[in-house]
Amino acid sequence: MSLYTPILVLGIIAAGFAVVSVVIALVVGPRRFNRAKLEAYECGIEPVAGGAVGQRFPVKYYLTAMLFIVFDIEIVFLYPWAVTFDALGTFALVEMLIFMATVFVAYGYVWRRGGLEWD
């Protein structure tokens, strides 16, 4: 248990800092509310009364987000592999080549489907 004590202490300090920061901001911060601040934030799109409710967003937004996540995950797996490359051997090299080939197949698919067009 003594090995986990520093991690537990760090977690308690981090949670305490977060809670104290929020409480201090609520107590000390200015309270100047106006109509614009009380409205929902809609990414710059003005809500129209009587307009289409539940407006659909283009799929490109979601496709771009998924591409970002896929390539971030690739980097997360690639970095530790690169750090210990010498100790891993040939098997790990083959596994990483298969992993990268799979990611590049997905990249090629998205490219052919026009997911990288920024019109």
- pLDDT per position as a tens digit, 54-105: 666 667 777 778 888 878 888 888 888 888 888 888 888 888 889 889 888 8
Tokens of 56: 């659909």
Residue-wise pLDDT for 19-45, tens only, equals 999 999 999 988 888 887 777 766 655
Q: How far is CA 33 from CA 29, 30, 36, 99, in A?
A: 12, 9, 8, 52
